[in-house]
Structure 1
């Protein structure tokens, strides 16, 4: 799959998962900035990926794309958002060929020549038949990523699937491993690799006659589907940070209402790009737990420190590397400016003071526990049976304000005075929404 196509599929799936059937075809296409024809073509491609990735599954385990839209309410490892990662950077013929190779190596040891014969028998008749060089290249790739193992030293080399760990585990051990991966994948970030491992273990359990859904010990309702899709960029960005390389990308600000912009490769259909092309040195990646958003913090040669929502990054490419001394200087500058950032804010420092009210008639003080767990470097300065004071020096109030507001009547902002006035005005506005329409109600 081409890089541009992958950007498009990500945005397509994000809107499909979040909006469902709220948009018509034309509205969906307009939102993405593509034609209805491209919309239909993209949908066909997604359906094609589903059928490719389900090759070899029994009929009862297969599903249509429409079935994946009606996902289990508590199923956080949602296939609709994950199967795209399996198709990333793979052409359709590669996906089919790798599936055939892995299936064949599950039960026997085979040489490259044997596997070429297997591919020739099982590849679609209308598709290209792989030669021995292509098959050897596939085997080298699968061996590098640890999916298969070479079992002998002399030629011809024989290969088998790397299932030693799974095969050596008893049923109880495999169930314990599944439960552990399930918990970690749903509570840690990034999570995509954990979800993919969880899905693999689920398939192994099914082959042993277990149905993990019936024996699951934990249930999750996941609200931030976009976070999973945005993780597609993480490893590219982390790799660039480790190698001190700049990144070139087209940025589509979420505030603009456009999710995708095609590359103008055909001069006959060239049109103005809605996004902004940027070149930055990536410094840090920040995750906002409150909204489920990833942020890229980078240094721009002209603008200085810049912040980007990860969902707006498209067409990412690595650029030139910088000297270690220059990178260290930029990193030190970013760390200093973000030392008191609630998330990513780099505006001037402000002292915020709030009084929190302990819950009455309750043995568990969940207000105090939440402030201590989420209040970052803020400190509790005064404490009584009914209230406690919380103080923090933070960059701006834009990012901490929703957190304070989320406590409702259990939180009273004291400083700064203008922030207190803002809260008073907001609560009065909310109160007006609940005023009786008729006096006798």
Structure 2
């Protein structure tokens, strides 16, 4: 899939998951910044792509595009269209060909020529049959990524699927491994690789006549589709950080009306985009658990430290390298600025003091447990049997404020005084909404 196309699919799926059926075709296309014709073509392409990746499943196990948007409390569904990651670096013909090769190597050991014969026998009529050089290249690639292994013996080399670990596990051990991967993929970041591994284990269980969907011990409903979709950028950014390279990209702010802009490759149809072209030395990647957002933090020669929400990054390209000394100097400066950042804020540090109230009922103290888990470097001081104090120094209050507000009546802000007044004003405003309803009743 072309890089520009992948950017468009990501933004298309993000808007589709957030808006559902709330937009008409015209509204959806206008919000994305594309024509209605491109909207129809993209939707058709996504459906065809999904069908390609589900082609080897029985009919009852196939997945429709609409299933990714269906809400069900009683199922642990994959995040919306995880198949996009399987297709992002492959042409459609490559995806079909690799699926055929992997399927052929599941049950037996084959040489390159035998694998070529299997491809020619089962390749759909709509796709060209590969030559021997192409199949040998595919086998080399699959061996490098660990999907297949070369069997012992001389030439001609024989290959088989790398299923030894799964095959050596008992049914109970395989189920335990699936449960572990299921939990980690749904709770840890990044998680795309975990979902892909879970998908592989699910197929292995089905081959043993187990239905993992029925035996699920944990059920999750994914709320942060952006988190999954934005992981596509992580590997490009991490590679640039390791190689000390700058990145060039078009940034479309989430606050703007458009979330995608095509590349202007034809001068006759060139037009201004609503995005901003930036060159940045990437230094850190930050994940905000509160909202499920990824942030890119780096240095710009013109504006210094800059922060971008990753969902707005499109058309990412690697630029020139910088000396190691310059990279370390910029990184040290960023880390000093963000020493007290709740997420990415670099405002003036100030002290925040809060009194938390333990729940009245007996059992788990979920307030205390949540503060201990999410309170970062803040300190907890016991005050009484019913309350405890939480103190932390942070860069500004705008990022920590939603977290404090989420505790409701279990949280009382003590310092700074102006923040306490803001909370009092907000709760009075909410109280006013409810008082009028009570009077009418």
TM-score, structure 2 normalization: 0.96
1:5-404 matches, within 5 Å, as: 5-70=5-70, 72-73=72-73, 75-78=75-78, 80-381=80-381, 383-404=383-404
Distance 1:163 1:12 in 2: 36
Distance 2:127 2:396 in 1: 59
Runs of 4+ in 1 over 6 A off after TM superposition: none
Which stretch of the first structure deviates more once superposed, 177-186 or 431-440?
431-440
Which stretch of the first structure deviates more once superposed, 349-358 or 224-233?
349-358
Q: Say what the alpha-carbon RMSD is for the aligned residues.
A: 1.6
1:234-260 CA-to-partner distances (Å, cap 9, x unmatched) read 111111111111111111111113211
1:269-307 CA-to-partner distances (Å, cap 9, x unmatched) read 222111111111111111111111111111111111111
Cα distance, 1:357 vs structure 2? 2.3
8 Å Cα contact 1:55-1:99 kept in structure 2: no
Secondary structure, counterpart of 1:280 in structure 2: strand
1:342-378 CA-to-partner distances (Å, cap 9, x unmatched) read 1110010111122222333535433233222222222
Secondary structure, counterpart of 2:209 in structure 1: coil
Cα distance, 1:71 vs structure 2? 5.6
Cα distance, 1:125 vs structure 2? 2.2
Extract unaligned runs of 5+ from structure 1: none
1:197-241 CA-to-partner distances (Å, cap 9, x unmatched) read 111111111111011111111112221121111111111111111
1:51-87 CA-to-partner distances (Å, cap 9, x unmatched) read 1112222222223323343264454552533111111
Cα distance, 1:438 vs structure 2? 6.9
Which stretch of the first structure deviates more once superposed, 372-381 or 132-141?
372-381
Cα distance, 1:382 vs structure 2? 5.6
Residues 356 and 15 (structure 1), Cα distance of their counterparts in 2 relative to 1, 3 Å cut: same
8 Å Cα contact 2:77-2:220 kept in structure 1: no
1:137-176 CA-to-partner distances (Å, cap 9, x unmatched) read 1111111111111114432221111111111111111101
Secondary structure, counterpart of 2:353 in structure 1: strand
Aligned length: 441
TM-score, structure 1 normalization: 0.96
Distance 1:223 1:371 in 2: 22
8 Å Cα contact 1:81-1:228 kept in structure 2: no
Distance 1:345 1:264 in 2: 34
Distance 1:331 1:380 in 2: 31
Cα distance, 1:122 vs structure 2? 1.9
8 Å Cα contact 1:71-1:78 kept in structure 2: no
Secondary structure, counterpart of 1:28 in structure 2: helix
Secondary structure, counterpart of 1:250 in structure 2: strand
Cα distance, 1:437 vs structure 2? 4.2
Distance 2:398 2:440 in 1: 40
Which stretch of the first structure deviates more once superposed, 394-403 or 125-134?
125-134
Cα distance, 1:267 vs structure 2? 2.4
Secondary structure, counterpart of 2:435 in structure 1: coil
Distance 1:55 1:313 in 2: 32
Distance 1:183 1:79 in 2: 14
8 Å Cα contact 2:79-2:225 kept in structure 1: no
Which stretch of the first structure deviates more once superposed, 265-274 or 391-400?
265-274
8 Å Cα contact 2:80-2:225 kept in structure 1: no
